[in-house]
Amino acid sequence: MSINNNPYNFLNTPVLDAMRKLQKTSALTAVHELQAQMYLTFWANKK
- Binning pLDDT at 50, 70 and 90, where does residue 10 land? low
pLDDT at 1: 45
pTM passes above 0.85? no
pLDDT at 9: 64
pLDDT at 12: 67
For the chain, give percent helix, strand, coil, nearest 5.
85, 0, 15
pLDDT digits (tens, 9 = 90+) for 11-47: 668 888 888 889 999 988 989 999 999 998 988 888 6
Residue 16 neighbours by CB under 8 Å, 6+ apart:
10
Domain boundaries, the chain: 9-45
